[in-house]
Chain A
Amino acid sequence: MISGKISAKVEEYVFGGLVAAIGVFTLLDATTIAARADNAVGPRAFPYAVGVLLVATGVAAIIATARGKLGQAEEGEDVAVDSRTDWVTVGKLVAVLIAHLVLIDLVGWPVAATVLFFGAAWTLGAVWWRALPIAVALALVVQVVFASGLGLSLPAGIFEGVPFLDG
């Protein structure tokens, strides 16, 4: 429990630091935006203001953390607030999303979508033999609706040239 509190604090420092770092980047990069010298209000002024806001709030968040005022984690219907963070599940979901975006151009949207839905449902605890047919059906239905109904076509990939699936 104590180690959990310490890691939450470290995370808060890192997030506050990131906000401030984006602010510093905004301020530095804003100086490189080309602007005419005679123009009082060019494309740089607003970025400077945003940069200052980010640096100020990032530093303030770090100070608040140091004083022990941690942010309150969001509540939700499906969230068990007291439970420990399940990093493995989060990691798997991110991996599934990466697999999806890599697969779209390789084998087409229907396969990539099946992988995404099946992978996510399985990771979250669904039974694989029930999740798989649902994933396949969902991907194919969306593919057909897009190809025939909406006039927008998703890359068919391995199904190229197949009627209904390739718009």
Chain B
Amino acid sequence: MDSITALLEGFATAAQPAYLLYALLGVTLGTAVGVLPGIGPAMTVALLLPLTYTLDPTAALIIFAGIYYGGMYGGSTTSILLNTPGESASIVTALEGNKMARAGRGAAALATAAIGSFVAGTIATVLLTLLAPTIADIAVTLGPADYVALMVVAFTTVAALLGSSPVRGLASLGLGLFIGLIGTDTLSGQQRFTLGVSTLADGIDVVVVAVGVFAVGEALYVASRLRHGPIEVIPVGGKWMTREFWARSWKPWLRGTFIGFPIGTVPAGGADVSTFVSYAAEKKLSKKPEEFGHGAIEGVAGPEAANNAAAAGVLVPLLTLGLPTTATAAVIVAAFQSYGIQPGPLLFTNNSAMVWALIASLYIGNVMLLVLNLPLVKMWVKVLQIPRPYLYAGILLFAALGTYAVNFVVDDLIVLLIIGVAGFFMRRHGYPVAPLVVGLILGPMAEEQVRRTLQISEGSLSALVTSPFAAVAYSVLVVLLAVAVVVRVRRKKAETLV
């Protein structure tokens, strides 16, 4: 087994003291931004991009991977202890976990979330280790038309299938694709949509866009409707190390893992879908379904595991195909590109040492996260209580700093402000921001692959669909769309009946 030797070498690299520190930094930051409302992993990675140019790529990517995993852990603490809906991936946790905390069983809810995340994260990382090299081997044989097909699938699912309004999702995708077009065309050297402004000739930096929509847009939006008054954190109560705790948790953890990982791997859902599926499964399998809605521990254990397994699953298409299916994954692709590395099938041959050190650091990061989120959970409760004026002022300050640090020009801050205001209005009117970021990063890659396909076929459009792999991908997409339409219609019927 080549990959096992490679993984052991990866561990040898990732276990060096310096890299361990970078991993610790990443997971700590990740948990903090996961706990805090208003900032998420996507924005944090984007903000740190300019600051990590001086690090070697392996160190930077270990930090980013830590932030990515850490954000998933931190989110659950918030949704269990704050009585308000949190980021979409952990809403289901809020349903049961919040009820448990109110009933004085907060410790058990936090523990099942943290241990479940650890179990799922570790198993899913093992699956990633086993699957990724094989998929990369297959992916090497894919041609440009196949990549176009994969990207079309990713675009459609991210924009149209997730979220409540397909039209607004697609509009957001379109805006992202448009921003991606601004600048100098790589193939012909022509300037496009620059309006003759020299700052725009190099294109708009991904960091500026991501920080604009996530940080500035979010801060303005929250400010417009800030919840005033004290922050109500439910005190952590109860014991968790009971026989009942383990007996009721371990099966949902495993089921959540095997529901979440595949959903994360295929570009068709990301973390949110997996938590809903897991929740529904646990409710159906439970011997006491009447407890659901009143603080059933299975309803925390399963979705939390699914959430983390899906996050690891997202790394499979990211590392082997260079295909991001969530906003955070898209920003990580941008991070790879800033180091001149293109994630994709060749990553495992060209940057083998780096990618295995990264995977090894995921195992290490999971152990660190378990410690950070189980015995040290009280620390995060304090973080949760940061007064909101300072929190959002800090977000704006670091957003401006991160943007300015990209090129040290004030023009970027003007672009940041414009994109931030756009992000504000998008949030007000239900336009999801994730498709914009995915479109921005995948758009230029998609254009290049389309043009390569058509150059090879001498302009014949049929080349885009005649490759067997592409044909299969488009058929799967059609089936997915059909299923989505059916589900939507049924849900509407159910709603009108109620």
Binding site for B on A (CB under 8 A): 8, 11-12, 15-16, 19, 22-23, 26, 29-30, 33-35, 40-43, 45-47, 50, 53-54, 57-58, 60-61, 64, 69-81, 83, 85-87, 89-90, 93-94, 96-98, 100-101, 104-105, 109, 113, 116-126, 131, 134-135, 138, 142, 146, 150-152, 154-155
Residues of A within 8 A of B168 (CB): 57, 61, 71
In the assembled complex, which residues on chain B have CB atoms less than 8 Å from the CB atom of A113? 397, 400-401
Q: Is the CB of B167 within 8 A of A101?
A: no
- Chain A positions within 8 Å of B192 at CB level: 29-30, 33, 43, 47
Closest to B455 in A: A41
Nearest-CB residue, chain A, relative to B181? A47
Instruction: Tally inter-chain residue pairs, CB-CB below 8 A.
Output: 239
Closest-CB distance, A35 to chain B (whole angstroms): 7
Partner of B37, one of A76, A96, A101: A76
Residue of A nearest to B412 (CB): A101
**A86–B226 CB distance below 8 A:** yes
Q: Write out the residue numbers on chain A whose beta carbons fall within 8 Å of the beta carbon of B414.
A: 101
Does B496 sit within 8 A of A, measured CB to CB?
no
B427 touches A73 (CB 8 A): yes
A146 to B427, CA, bound (A): 33
Closest B residue to A102 by CB, please name it: B410
Please tell me if the beta carbons of A41 and B417 are within 8 angstroms of each other in the complex. no
A99 to B185, CA, bound (A): 34
Distance in Å: Cβ of A10 to nearest Cβ of chain B: 11
Contact of A46 among B50, B404, B447 (CB under 8 A): B447
| Contact assessment for A50 and B181 in the assembled complex, using a CB-CB cutoff below 8 Å | yes
B400 touches A97 (CB 8 A): yes
Which B203-256 residues have C-beta < 8 A from chain A? 216, 218-228
Chain A residues positioned under 8 Å from B404 (CB to CB): 104, 109, 154
Majority DSSP secondary structure for residues of B touching A: helix
B181 near A42 with CB under 8 A, answer: no
Q: Beyond the given A53-B177, A86-B223, A93-B219, could you list 17 further A-B residue pairs with CB under 8 A, ordered by the A residue number?
A: A26-B193, A41-B459, A43-B192, A53-B174, A60-B167, A71-B165, A73-B428, A73-B430, A74-B428, A77-B37, A77-B38, A85-B428, A104-B404, A117-B394, A117-B397, A126-B387, A131-B389
B393 is contacted by which of A75, A109, A117 (Cβ under 8 Å)? A117
Q: How far is the CB of A8 from chain B (nearest CB, A)?
A: 8
Residues of chain A contacted by B482 (CB below 8 angstroms): none
Q: Which of B80-88, B329-337, B374-382 contacts A (4 or more CB under 8 A)?
A: B80-88
B393 touches A120 (CB 8 A): yes
CA–CA, A28 to B220, complex, Å? 33
Task: A142 to B425: give the CA distance in the assembly, Å.
Answer: 31
Cβ distance B59 to chain A, nearest Cβ, rounded Å:
14
Chain B residues with Cβ below 8 Å from A138 are 394, 397
CA distance A118 to B227 in the complex (A): 20
Residues of B within 8 A of A46 (CB): 181, 446-447, 450-451
Pairwise interchain contact B451-A77, C-beta atoms closer than 8 A? no
In the complex the two chains form, is A61's CB within 8 Å of B222's CB?
no
- Who on chain A is nearest to B36 by CB? A77
Check B458 for interface membership: any CB of A closer than 8 A. yes
By a beta-carbon cutoff of 8 Å, the part of chain B in contact with chain A is: 37-38, 50-51, 54, 78, 82, 84-86, 164-165, 167-168, 170-171, 173-175, 177-178, 181, 185, 187-188, 190-193, 216, 218-228, 387-390, 392-394, 396-397, 400-401, 404-405, 408, 410, 413-414, 417, 420-421, 424-431, 443, 446-447, 450-451, 454-455, 458-459
The residue from B164, B190, B218, B397 contacting A72, defined by CB atoms under 8 A apart: B164
Query: 20 A-B contacts, Cβ less than 8 Å apart?
Result: A11-B429, A41-B451, A45-B450, A46-B181, A47-B181, A50-B174, A53-B173, A77-B84, A78-B84, A90-B223, A90-B424, A96-B396, A97-B413, A98-B417, A117-B397, A121-B393, A123-B223, A131-B389, A135-B393, A152-B51
Chain A residues whose CB sits within 8 angstroms of the CB of B393 once the complex forms: 116-121, 124, 126, 131, 135
- Least CB distance from B247 to A in Å reads 32
Return chain A residues, CB-CB under 8 Å to B173: 53
Residues of B within 8 A of A118 (CB): 393
**Smallest Cβ-Cβ distance to B453: which chain A residue:** A41
Of the residues A8, A40, A64, A83, contact of B167 by C-beta under 8 Å: A64
Interface pair B178/A26, CB less than 8 Å apart: yes
CB distance from A120 to the nearest CB of B (A): 4
- A72 neighbours in B (Cβ, 8 Å): 164-165, 430
Question: A152 to B405, Cβ gap below 8 A?
Answer: yes
B415 CB to nearest A CB, Å: 10
Closest chain A residue to B176, Cβ basis:
A50
Given A19-B174, A42-B188, A43-B190, check contact A79 B222 (CB 8 Å): yes
Query: When chains A and B are docked, how far (Å) is the Cα of A30 from the Cα of B39?
Result: 36
Q: B417 touching A126 by the CB < 8 A rule?
A: no
Do residues A79 and B225 form an inter-chain contact, with CB atoms below 8 A?
Answer: yes
Which chain B residues lie closer than 8 Å to A45 at the CB level?
Answer: 450-451
Residue from A60, A71, A85 in contact with B224 in the complex, judged by beta carbons closer than 8 Å:
A85
Alpha-carbon distance A77/B454, docked complex (angstroms): 48
Q: How far is A33 from B194 in the complex, measured between Cα atoms in Å? A: 11
| B82 to A, closest residue via Cβ | A77
Known: A22-B178, A94-B417. A100 touches B185 (CB 8 A): no
Contact B401 A79 (CB under 8 A): no
Contacts of A35 in B (CB 8 A): 188, 190
Contact B38 A78 (CB under 8 A): yes
Report yes or no: A29 in contact with B174, Cβ–Cβ below 8 A: no
Which residues on the A side are within 8 Å of B420 (C-beta)? 97
CB-based contact B429/A120 at 8 Å: no
Q: Are A105 and B177 in contact (CB under 8 A)?
A: no
Contacts of A30 in B (CB 8 A): 192
Query: Given the complex of chains A and B, what is the CA–CA distance between A58 and B174 in angstroms?
Result: 10
